[in-house]
């Protein structure tokens, strides 16, 4: 089959060329090959070249990409140019997991019937992938999509499109969070009967907090606040318990001052909470105003996830969540908890547990446990780490040595000078703990305090409401709380939660959700491959897509897979990307 040119002449002798698609057929009678016209394209000077391009593109789709490429490049190999190369491995893997979790399906369904850009789902995926691969501002993310990566279905975007997509993400967050939880529990077959909860804070480089806004019991702005009331308001030292009670809390800005977990009390902040499975998969994230205390946040988390759970859920939390109200709420509906108890809280229960005699049982590695029964409905487990005890004792000796050097010879000083020194030491909590002042105003080392502290070396105390868990399971379950702390560390470093390039509350909340989705995909990769994301990302980003342009058109082809890349894809159950990623006609000429 070929294109034949037939020439005719007008009366004035000028030639006119006609193009025909012909096919040679064998004539057995004459024993010759005769051309058969299949289609006439008409006069060459009146040819619809755009229609020809569409026909060629349509026929090319019927061929194997390699065969089609060979045919098109053969005609225009002389003008073929290698124009660019972009990393594609990271986005391919993250996109496959994104689709496996059904996030694209949820977003596409929620987009149906809305007057929004149909590429909004692709834009949100690009923002999530950007956090995992090359975190930056949303303006930088748009430039990253346009010039530095290849994302299927999104050749380019803009920072305005990114901001519009973030606004919509906050609207669909409840539906999205619920779908992610179910997919983690069912599709990925991760256990969600044990959920770990913890909070952190992130600060902003601004001097002034946000203006006060009336909020509901979940810390959300109230459009039409009720009259101000103080009845039922729950406040604690250092902030407002905005997640407790039945009445709206007093007005507070979203970015406001509070007790910073980054040691930046001088800057406004927001508080972020996260629930994580025992495998380290984050299933939900929350945001609260910066002065919200930890005491009631777990109650809101429990309430928000009440209808999601597949079975009875055991909540695991740190010492900041051990209030009586929290423990009562977590036991509602048959739930249970493992919560750390402050050793130095002065509570009668903690003192009674620590004073009980008994042998420790070796559990695993350097962990020993001892169960103490004090109340009928609660169990106390004392955990002891001999190595940590040695470190605690060594650190205490260093602090006592420093304190001794400070107060040595102070008996000869005046009462005023000793009072000044005592004031300076009071600003050093580690040293001030072991300082004792005699009735006569002399400074001494508190030996009773040293003995009391030595009794706590290497120990931590746990409360548990489940009557069936063994002391070993309680201790090991609490130890897994490190998964949440690791999540905070990775979110603040690898995914660069901070700095937050937003000042509007809704944009900040959407930014946190994007970081959570990125951490979710990263954790799935790590738990499946048993390797770190930093190492996997380095291997994946060596897989590139090269762009070639020429008279015959444009095509994109990936580089060959390395052994490491093939192993990663195999472990994750992801098919390798096609070798020929894209074929296109040549750019239109004006």
Sorted by where each starts, the structural domains of the chain and their CATH numbers stand as: 1-47 (no CATH), 191-345+471-502 (3.30.420), 388-454 (no CATH)
How many Å is the Cα radius of gyration of the chain? 34
CA dist 489 and 483 (Å) reads: 10
pLDDT of residue 12: 78
pLDDT of residue 376: 76
Mean pLDDT of 440-452: 93
- Contact (Cβ atoms closer than 8 angstroms) between residue 553 and residue 519: no
pLDDT of residue 8: 82
pLDDT of residue 422: 92
pLDDT of residue 582: 76
Single out the residue of 349, 354, 312, 353 nearest to residue 333, CA to CA: 312
Find all residues with CB under 8 Å of 195, minimum gap 6, and list them.
275, 276, 277, 283, 305, 313, 314, 315, 316
CA dist 513 and 510 (Å) reads: 5
- Contact (Cβ atoms closer than 8 angstroms) between residue 17 and residue 43: yes
Report whether pLDDT(95) > 90: yes
Mean pLDDT of 387-413: 93
Question: What pLDDT, in 10s, does the model give residues 269-317?
Answer: 999 999 888 888 898 999 999 998 877 788 888 888 876 765 567 788 8
Residue burial 362-401, b: 16+ Cβ < 10 Å; e: rest? ebeeebbbbbbeeeeebbbbbbbbeebbeebeeebeebbe
Q: Which residue has the tokens 């037939």?
A: 6
Report whether pLDDT(190) > 80: no
Single out the residue of 451, 454, 434 nearest to residue 443, CA to CA: 434
Single out the residue of 156, 83, 85 nearest to residue 542, CA to CA: 85
Mean pLDDT of 397-421: 93
**Percentage above 90 pLDDT, the chain:** 46
The long-range contacts involving 184-191, CB below 8 angstroms and separated by at least 24 positions, are 184/101, 184/277, 184/281, 184/283, 184/520, 185/310, 186/310, 187/100, 187/101, 187/102, 188/101, 188/281, 188/524, 190/277, 190/279, 190/281, 191/277, 191/278, 191/279
For the chain, how far is it from start to end, CA to CA, in angstroms? 31
- Contact (Cβ atoms closer than 8 angstroms) between residue 41 and residue 47: yes
Examine residue 499 and say whether the peptide bond preceding it is cis (omega within 30 degrees of 0): yes
Mean pLDDT of 133-141: 93
Report whether pLDDT(236) > 50: no
Q: What letter does residue 154 receive in the DSSP assignment?
A: B
Determine which of 231-245, 449-463, 501-515 has the lowest per-residue pLDDT on average: 231-245
Question: Best-predicted range by mean pLDDT among 127-136, 362-371, 477-486?
Answer: 127-136
Q: How far is CA 23 from CA 35, 99, 279, in A?
A: 6, 46, 64
Q: Where residue 28 falls among pLDDT bands split at 50, 70, 90?
A: confident
Question: What pLDDT, in 10s, does the model give residues 467-506?
Answer: 888 888 888 888 888 778 888 899 999 999 999 999 999 9
pLDDT of residue 223: 78
Sign of the torsion formed by the C-alpha atoms of 383, 386, 392 and 396: positive
pLDDT of residue 192: 64
> The tokens of 517 are what?
């989705």
- Contact (Cβ atoms closer than 8 angstroms) between residue 112 and residue 143: no
DSSP 115-151: SS-TTHHHHHHHHHHHHHHS---HHHHHHHHHHT--B
pLDDT of residue 81: 84
Report whether pLDDT(163) > 90: yes
**Percentage above 70 pLDDT, the chain:** 88
pLDDT of residue 173: 93
Strand partners, 199: 273
Report whether pLDDT(255) > 80: yes
Determine which of 177-191, 414-428, 517-531 has the lowest per-residue pLDDT on average: 177-191
Q: Where residue 27 falls among pLDDT bands split at 50, 70, 90?
A: confident
Mean pLDDT of 36-46: 81
Q: Provide the 3-class DSSP secondary structure of residue 510.
A: helix
Report whether pLDDT(191) > 70: no
CB neighbour class for 527 (10 Å; exposed up to 12, middle 13-18, buried from 19): middle
Q: Where residue 578 falls among pLDDT bands split at 50, 70, 90?
A: confident
What is the rounded average pLDDT for all residues in the chain? 84
**Between 231 and 561, residue with greater pLDDT:** 561
Mean pLDDT of 10-37: 80
- For 495, other C-beta atoms within 10 Å of its C-beta total 23
Question: What pLDDT, in 10s, does the model give residues 54-79?
Answer: 777 676 666 655 555 555 544 444 56
- For 283, other C-beta atoms within 10 Å of its C-beta total 22
**Between 574 and 63, residue with greater pLDDT:** 574
Q: Where residue 566 falls among pLDDT bands split at 50, 70, 90?
A: very high
pLDDT of residue 512: 96
């Amino acid at each position: 089959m070929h294109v034949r040119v037939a020439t005719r002449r007008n009366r004035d002798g000028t030639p006119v060329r006609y193009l025909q698609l012909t096919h040679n057929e064998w004539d057995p009678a004459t024993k010759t090959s005769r051309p058969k016209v299949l289609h006439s394209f008409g006069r060459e000077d009146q040819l619809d070249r755009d229609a020809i391009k569409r026909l060629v593109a349509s026929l090319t789709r019927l061929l194997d990409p390699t065969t089609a490429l060979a045919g098109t490049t053969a005609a225009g190999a002389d003008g073929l140019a290698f124009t660019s190369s972009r990393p594609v491995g990271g986005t391919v893997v993250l996109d496959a997991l994104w689709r496996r979790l059904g996030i694209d399906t949820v977003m596409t369904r929620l987009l149906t019937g809305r007057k929004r850009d149909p590429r909004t789902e692709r834009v949100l995926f690009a923002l999530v992938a950007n956090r995992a691969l090359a975190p930056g501002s949303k303006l930088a993310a748009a430039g990253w999509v346009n010039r530095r990566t290849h994302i299927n279905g999104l050749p380019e975007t803009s920072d305005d499109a990114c901001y519009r997509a973030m606004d919509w993400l906050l609207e669909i967050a409840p539906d999205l969070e619920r779908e992610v939880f179910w997919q983690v529990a069912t599709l990925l077959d991760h256990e969600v009967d044990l959920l770990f909860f913890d909070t952190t804070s992130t600060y902003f480089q601004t001097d002034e907090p946000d203006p006060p806004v009336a909020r509901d019991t979940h810390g959300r702005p109230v459009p039409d606040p009720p009259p101000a009331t103080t009845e039922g308001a729950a406040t604690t030292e250092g902030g407002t318990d905005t997640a407790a009670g039945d009445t709206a809390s007093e007005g507070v800005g979203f970015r406001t001052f509070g007790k910073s977990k980054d040691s930046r009390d001088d800057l406004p902040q927001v508080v972020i909470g996260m629930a994580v499975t025992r495998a380290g998969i984050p299933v939900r994230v929350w945001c609260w105003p910066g002065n919200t205390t930890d005491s009631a946040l777990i109650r809101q988390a429990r309430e928000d996830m009440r209808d999601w759970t597949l079975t009875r859920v055991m909540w695991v939390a740190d010492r900041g969540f051990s209030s009586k109200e929290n423990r009562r709420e977590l036991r509602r509906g048959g739930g249970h908890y493992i919560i750390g108890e402050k050793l130095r809280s002065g509570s009668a229960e903690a003192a009674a547990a620590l004073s009980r005699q008994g042998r420790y049982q070796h559990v695993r590695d350097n962990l020993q446990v001892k169960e103490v029964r004090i109340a009928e409905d609660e169990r106390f487990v004392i955990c002891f780490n001999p190595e940590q005890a040695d470190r605690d004792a060594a650190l205490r000796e260093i602090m006592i040595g420093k304190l001794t050097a400070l107060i040595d010879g102070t008996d000869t000083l005046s009462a005023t000078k000793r009072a000044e020194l005592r004031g300076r030491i009071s600003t050093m909590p580690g040293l001030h703990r072991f300082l004792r002042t005699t009735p006569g105003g002399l400074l001494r080392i508190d030996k009773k305090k040293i003995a009391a502290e030595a009794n706590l070396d290497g120990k931590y105390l746990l409360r548990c409401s489940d009557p069936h868990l063994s002391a070993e399971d309680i201790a090991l379950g609490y130890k897994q709380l490190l998964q949440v702390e690791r999540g905070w560390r990775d979110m603040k470093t690898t995914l660069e939660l901070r700095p937050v390039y937003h000042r509007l509350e809704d944009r900040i909340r959407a930014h946190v959700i994007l970081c959570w989705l990125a951490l979710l995909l990263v954790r799935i990769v790590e738990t499946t491959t048993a390797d770190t994301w930093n190492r996997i990302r380095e291997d994946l980003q060596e897989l590139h897509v090269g762009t070639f342009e020429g008279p015959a058109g444009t095509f994109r082809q990936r580089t060959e897979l390395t052994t490491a890349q093939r192993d990663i894809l195999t472990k994750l159950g992801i098919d390798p990307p096609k070798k020929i990623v894209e074929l296109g006609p040549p750019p239109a000429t004006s």
